[in-house]
């Protein structure tokens, strides 16, 4: 294993991609020479210093077929020039160039599926695109010898559909990750901080209803939304329209080393994905584990994997209806039931010891071996 070279590719711009960073750090610690390839746009934030090599391909298209065509073409050109023993493709939108490259060169290919790709909401209303990606998936996945994904529900679905055995590596945080204190923004004092964070704050993830719920919540509730996503601009417009700009704070995506400091300052973490598509119904959001690791109780929607964790560890509550009134009622109940809330805070500390990347990464030992 010592001295082996591995090239990792992902369509993100790397700055906020915690999962890929954790895997690359693991590989570096195992003695691999790691090169991580992603995208870069004009608005991409600078990367923190990494222990492995990073390259970002300059891309111009951010939406539609053009973004995939541009990135996959550029990715294949650079992959074919790389001297490496293993190629790790993250998600279906990097798998084709990686597969062709490894097939031509007789190299090892590993696949990490971050989500149930063809179940994403972006593909639900576009049957032609969904059929195209489904064909790619059906052709390539049964050919993979080494693959893993983010939770058991998705692994079971892929086994049912394609007969592929995927290991499960959940996207849990480092227990010992250093925290960089925020310097530019801060939360108001003497407020009960509600936090929604994530790089994919898109439609049907409950953010619109959460903002509207602030109309039913008096002082001292203050909502903080950190990240980015398709709904980002619309959410700010909605906030201004409702006259809530003094009670809702937006912070654009920050490096994950700084994000944890914000998370630890919150009182309640929210993850409100609606079961509007199969990908959301089976998802296990990164933010859930970030909240747990930061010692923050959780209010969540009732989706399969999240419900299981909340029930198992008693670290919060979930609601069946994602409406402004139901969200507000749940938040008020939590605030007024301080004994229950304090019990959740104690349980979150115990849960954090379980959901720890230093433990979770051991599954990768079964994949990245000589």
Do 84 and 212 reside in the same domain of the chain?
no
CA distance 293 to 26: 19
For residue 236, is it within any domain? yes
Instruction: Show the DSSP H helices in the chain as ranges.
Output: 18-29, 64-79, 95-105, 121-124, 127-140, 152-162, 207-213, 232-241, 256-264, 278-281, 286-293, 304-313, 324-336, 338-354, 357-360
Query: Please, which residues have CB within 8 angstroms of residue 299's CB and are 6 or more apart in sequence?
Result: 268, 269, 270, 271, 272, 316, 317, 318, 319, 327, 330, 331, 334
Question: Which tens digits make up the pLDDT trace of 102-155?
Answer: 999 999 999 999 999 998 888 888 888 899 999 999 999 999 999 999 999 999
- State the residue for tokens 């084709």: 96
pLDDT at 339: 98
For residue 22, is it within any domain? yes
Do 145 and 20 reside in the same domain of the chain?
yes
Query: Are 116 and 275 in contact, with CB atoms under 8 Å apart?
Result: no
pLDDT at 144: 97
Q: List, as one string, the DSSP characters of 59-86.
A: ----SHHHHHHHHHHHHHHHHTT---SE
Instruction: List Cβ<8 Å contacts ≥24 apart for 140-143.
Output: 140/95, 140/96, 140/99, 141/111, 143/99
Give me the domain span that covers residue 255. 192-354
pLDDT at 46: 87
Do 159 and 196 reside in the same domain of the chain?
no
Question: Which tens digits make up the pLDDT trace of 286-320?
Answer: 999 999 999 999 999 999 999 999 999 999 999 99
CATH assignment at residue 74 = 3.40.50.2000
Do 12 and 156 reside in the same domain of the chain?
yes
Do 336 and 197 reside in the same domain of the chain?
yes
Burial of 81 (0-12, 13-18, 19+ CB in 10 A): exposed
pLDDT at 53: 97
**Which residues share a beta bridge with 223?**
194, 248
Tally of structural domains, the chain: 2
pLDDT at 354: 92
Q: Is pLDDT of 182 > 90? A: no
Do 44 and 140 reside in the same domain of the chain?
yes
Do 247 and 329 reside in the same domain of the chain?
yes
For residue 77, is it within any domain? yes
Range in 54-58, 61-65, 156-160 with the lowest mean pLDDT: 61-65
CA distance 68 to 157: 25
Do 119 and 199 reside in the same domain of the chain?
no
DSSP, collapsed to helix, strand or coil, labels residue 230 as: coil
Do 107 and 202 reside in the same domain of the chain?
no
Q: Is pLDDT of 1 > 60? A: no
For residue 239, is it within any domain? yes
Do 98 and 73 reside in the same domain of the chain?
yes
Do 203 and 319 reside in the same domain of the chain?
yes
Query: Are 320 and 300 in contact, with CB atoms under 8 Å apart?
Result: no
For residue 134, is it within any domain? yes
The chain-wide mean pLDDT, for the chain, equals 92
pLDDT at 183: 43
pLDDT at 370: 60
Q: Identify the CA nearest to 305 among candidates 336, 268, 280.
A: 280
For residue 179, is it within any domain? no
Q: Name which residue leads in pLDDT, 200 or 11.
A: 11
**For the residues 19-45, what does the mean pLDDT come to?**
94
Question: Which tens digits make up the pLDDT trace of 188-231?
Answer: 888 999 999 998 898 888 999 999 999 999 989 999 999 998 89
pLDDT at 177: 59
Do 13 and 41 reside in the same domain of the chain?
yes
For residue 186, is it within any domain? no
Range in 48-52, 144-148, 212-216, 255-259 with the lowest mean pLDDT: 255-259
pLDDT at 185: 52
For residue 82, is it within any domain? yes
């Amino acid at each position: 294993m010592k001295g082996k070279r591995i090239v990792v590719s992902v369509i993100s711009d790397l700055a906020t991609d915690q999962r890929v960073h954790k895997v690359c750090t693991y590989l570096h610690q195992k003695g691999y020479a790691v090169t991580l390839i992603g995208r870069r746009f004009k608005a991409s934030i600078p990367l923190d210093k990494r222990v492995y090599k990073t390259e970002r391909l300059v891309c111009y298209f951010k939406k539609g077929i053009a973004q995939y065509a541009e990135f996959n073409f550029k990715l294949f050109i650079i992959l074919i020039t790389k001297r490496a023993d293993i190629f790790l493709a993250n998600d279906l939108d990097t798998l084709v160039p990686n597969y062709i490259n490894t097939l031509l060169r007789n190299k090892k290919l590993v696949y990490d599926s971050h989500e149930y790709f063809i179940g994403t909401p972006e593909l639900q209303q576009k049957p032609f695109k969904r059929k195209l990606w489904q064909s790619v998936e059906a052709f390539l996945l049964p050919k993979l010898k080494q693959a893993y994904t983010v939770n058991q529900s998705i692994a079971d679905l892929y086994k049912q559909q394609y007969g592929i055995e995927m290991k499960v590596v959940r996207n849990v945080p480092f227990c010992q990750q250093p925290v960089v204190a925020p310097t530019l923004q801060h939360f108001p004092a003497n407020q009960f901080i509600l936090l929604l964070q994530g790089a994919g704050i898109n439609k049907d993830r409950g953010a619109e209803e959460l903002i509207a719920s602030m109309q039913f919540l008096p002082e001292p509730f203050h909502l903080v939304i950190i990240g980015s996503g398709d709904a980002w601009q619309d959410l700010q417009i909605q906030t201004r329209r409702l006259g809530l700009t003094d009670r809702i704070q937006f912070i654009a995506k920050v490096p994950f080393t700084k994000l944890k400091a914000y998370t630890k300052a919150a009182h309640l973490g929210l993850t409100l994905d609606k079961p509007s598509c199969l990908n959301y119904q089976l998802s296990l959001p990164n933010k859930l584990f970030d909240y747990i690791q930061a010692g923050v109780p959780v209010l969540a929607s009732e989706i399969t994997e999240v419900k299981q964790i909340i029930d198992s560890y008693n670290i919060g509550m979930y609601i069946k209806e994602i409406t402004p009134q139901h969200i507000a009622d749940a938040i008020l109940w939590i605030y007024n039931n301080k004994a229950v809330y304090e019990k959740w805070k104690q349980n979150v500390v115990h849960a954090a010891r379980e959901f720890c990347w230093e433990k979770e990464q051991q599954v990768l030992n079964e994949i990245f071996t000589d």
